[in-house]
Amino acid sequence: MQQYKNPVIPGYNPDPSIVRVGEDFYLVTSSFEFFPGVPIYHSKNLVNWELINHCLTDEQQLPLAKARNSGGIFAPTIRYHDGLFYMITTNVDNGGNFLVYTDDVRGKWSAPVWIKHKGIDPSLLFDQGKVYFCSTSLQDGKAGIALYEMNPQTGQLFTQPQIITYGSGGKYPEAPHLYHIGDKYYLMIAEGGTEYGHMETIFRADNPYGPFKACPHNPILSHRSAMGSPIQATGHADIVEDQNGNWWMVFLGIRPLEHAMLHNLGRETFLAPVTWNSEGWPVIEDAGVIKLDMNGPLPQPALPVALSFEDDFSSVVLKQGWYQVRNPVTHRYQHSDMGLILIAGDETISDKNPTGILIRQQAFNISAQTELSIIDLPESAKVGLTAYYNTDYHYEAYLTRCEDKIAVCLDLTVHSIQAQVACVLLSPLKTISFKVVADQRYYTFYFRTEQDWIQLGKGSTAGLCTEGTQTMTFTGTFLGIFAAQKALVCFTSFQAKQLPTDYHIAGLPLTENKPKLIQDENYADAPVNLP
Active site residues: 15, 174
- Alpha carbons 477 and 249: distance in angstroms, whole number: 25
- Alpha carbons 239 and 251: distance in angstroms, whole number: 9
CA 233 to chain centre: 16
- Alpha carbons 97 and 157: distance in angstroms, whole number: 12
| Amino acid residing at 489 | V
Helices (runs of H) and strands (runs of E) counted in the chain? 1, 39
Cβ neighbours of 29 (radius 10 Å): 25
- Alpha carbons 407 and 420: distance in angstroms, whole number: 12
Q: In sequence order, what DSSP letters do the residues of 163-201 get, joined into one string?
A: EEE--SS-SS-EEEEEEEETTEEEEEEEES-SSTT-EEE
HSE of 220, CA atoms in CB hemisphere, 13 A: 29
Residue 199 near residue 222 (C-beta atoms within 8 A): yes
Element of type H or E holding 446: strand 442-448
- CB-based burial of residue 294 (10 Å sphere; 0-12 exposed, 13-18 middle, 19+ buried)? buried
- Alpha carbons 318 and 297: distance in angstroms, whole number: 36
Q: How many residues does the chain have?
A: 531
- Alpha carbons 299 and 294: distance in angstroms, whole number: 15
Residue 153 near residue 82 (C-beta atoms within 8 A): no
- Alpha carbons 308 and 511: distance in angstroms, whole number: 32
HSE of 226, CA atoms in CB hemisphere, 13 A: 21
Residue 313 near residue 347 (C-beta atoms within 8 A): no
Q: In sequence order, what DSSP letters do the residues of 339-382 get, joined into one string?
A: -EEEE--S--TTSSS-EEEEEE--SSSEEEEEEEEEEE--TT-E
Q: In terms of DSSP bridges, do strands 366-376 and 431-438 run parallel, antiparallel, or are they unpaired?
A: antiparallel
